[in-house]
Amino acid sequence: MSKEYYTTIGLEIHAELNTNSKMFCGCKNDPDEVKPNVNICPVCMAHPGTLPVINKKAVESVIKVGLALGANIADFTEFDRKNYFYPDIPKAYQISQYKYPIVSGGSLKGVDITRVHLEEDTATSKHDRGDYSLVDFNRCGVPLMELVTEPVIHSSKQAGDFGRELQTVLRYLGVSEANMEKGQMRVELNISISEDPKVFGTKVEVKNINSFKAMERAAEYEIKRMSALLDTGEGDKIVQETRGWDESKQSTFSQRKKENANDYRYFPDPDLPKLFLSKVFDIEKMRSELPELPEARRNRYRNDCGIKDEDIESYIVDKELGDWFEKVAGELKDKNKIKIASNYITSDYLGLKKVNMEVGLPYVKNFAELIEMVVENKISSRGAKDILAMIVIKDESPLKVATEKGLLQNHDEGALKEIIKKIIDANPTVVETYKGGKENAIMSLVGQVMKESKGSANPQMVQKLLKELLS
């Protein structure tokens, strides 16, 4: 059994900004372009004699992120060259920011942020061809923000929570799709363990992480790996290095020993102007125009709607769903109705959506009408589910569907009794079993009556009438 060690994690998170054009040229920034090397020009291909021009929208996006984090927005900022050679970086340097990032400080979910800076993305390489590789420059020069946290995260779960919240914030701000599968958001995990919480252990950096789940697993894997080494007195085998996450093996492997900042020969890019942000942007106006952020929305739902935290989270993560839910709530007004609506949304609607791509949000008025019918007992919950399955595909009135499909609950005892008598006559053995003391046998009769009534009967009433008729 391993000793308990103290875990320290810091994250470096890149996100592609969804500007129309690239960071320093007019090329289209299109993450969905599948044809290689079409969104390229002499600037992003590093032809001699070309000059970069700063994309104002990208700078504005990073300022928004800073404001959302409650961070400091730099007055003075500049771009630096980070020099290294690799086929995906045609200039042999990446334009990034070193000493003067646009954003510093701030926090999110209790995690302190070191900085957020702006840089350009690299090209993508394909190494799946056997004896040669291909490079696609469509992504080369796309605006990329990098956020660095302080080493203040202490569990894999806290790291996952932070990453997911940042993803949601970026989406609410509308600055990035932040889709991890598409590589629009990329996480590097820095992790160390130590016996003494006051002393940092040697950290490793884990790359190639393509989901938050994978990040959490990579953190757990590293905690185990390093704990085992410390346990057996082999702590010197923990070296500062870059490791890769192997999704198929669910483990990490050593990639390379870490280079340090000196190796990159950072220096201010002489081709770009220095920026005095407050001269270009009205920061206070931008602050006042920020959209509602996830945490504010969460609190509002908690106070106003009386729904479960778990349901709230579905609306926070899926903003479109949340916006729609708010319209439904506005229509229903009553807290109890809103609660019932929320149950149908988070269990039934989301369930339908999972299995059928065609399912979309129903019209607010249709969905509200459906909930009213449930509340007034006009339809059974079974019937409501059937109607829901219709109105998520077509604009139809639930009342009309219920009428056409005979789903309106039959409160007419006379008609129901006729059906019940018929079922009793047709099932003498079941009736005998029930009369012999097996009370549960009645459920098979209830089921048959419900079927015969095409679901229009109220099950409680069926059971009550059956018991009366059988006594």
Is residue 119 a contact partner of residue 146, using CB atoms and an 8 Å limit? yes
From the list 19-27, 146-154, 164-172, 460-468, the region that binds ligand ADP by CB under 6 A is 146-154
Question: What does 192 bind: ligand ADP, Zn ion, none (CB cut-off 5 to 8 Å by kind)?
Answer: ligand ADP
Contact 152, 112 (CB under 8 A): yes
Closest CB to Zn ion among residues 140, 361? 140
Nearer to ligand ADP, 94 or 192 (CB): 192
Is 142 among the residues that bind Zn ion (CB under 5 A)? no
Which of 77, 192, 208, 346 binds ligand ADP (CB under 6 A)? It is: 192
Among 5, 10, 116, 163, binds ligand ADP (CB under 6 A): 10
What minimum distance in Å lies between the beta carbon of 190 and ligand ADP? 3
Q: How many CB atoms lie within 10 A of CB 284?
A: 10
Q: Which of 147, 211, 140, 220 is nearest to 182 (CA)?
A: 211
Comparison of 119 and 136: residue with beta carbon closer to ligand ADP: 119
Tokens representing 230? 């410390």
123 is a site residue for Zn ion (CB under 5 A): no
Q: How far is the CB of 201 from ligand ADP (least distance, A)?
A: 6
223 Rama sector, left if φ>0, alpha if ψ -120 to 50, beta otherwise: alpha
In angstroms, what is the minimal distance from the CB of 44 to Zn ion? 3
Q: Does 220 bind ligand ADP (CB under 6 A)?
A: no
Report the SS3 class of residue 9: strand
Give the residue among 95, 87, 79 at the shortest CA–CA distance from 43. 95
457 part of the interface to Zn ion, by CB under 5 A: no
Query: Does the footprint of Zn ion cover residue 25 (CB under 5 A)?
Result: yes
DSSP H helices in 237-361: 277-280, 283-288, 294-305, 309-317, 319-332, 335-343, 350-355
Instruction: List the x/- string, 252-291, binding to ligand ADP by CB under 6 A.
Output: ------x---------------------------------
Of 30-59, which residues contact Zn ion (CB under 5 A)?
A: 41, 43-44
Token match 């059906």: residue?
419
> What's the min distance (Å) between Cβ of 205 and ligand ADP?
7
Residue whose CB is less far from ligand ADP, 199 or 290: 199
Q: Cβ closer to ligand ADP: 115 or 337?
A: 115
Under the binding rule (CB under 6 A), the answer on residue 190 touching ligand ADP is: yes
Residue 266 Cβ, how far from ligand ADP at the closest point, in Å? 12
For 452, phi then psi, to 5°, come to -60, -35
End-to-end CA distance of the chain: 65
Please state, in angstroms and rounded to a whole number, the distance separating the CA atoms of residues 391 and 367.
Answer: 8
Largest CA distance in the chain: 98
Using CA atoms, how far residue 437 sits from 68, 276, 387, 434, 441, in Å, is 67, 87, 38, 5, 9
Closest residue to ligand ADP, judged by C-beta, is 10
Q: Which residues bind Zn ion (CB under 5 A)?
A: 25, 27, 41, 43-44
Binding positions for ligand ADP, rule: CB under 6 A: 8-12, 148-151, 190-192, 200, 203, 258
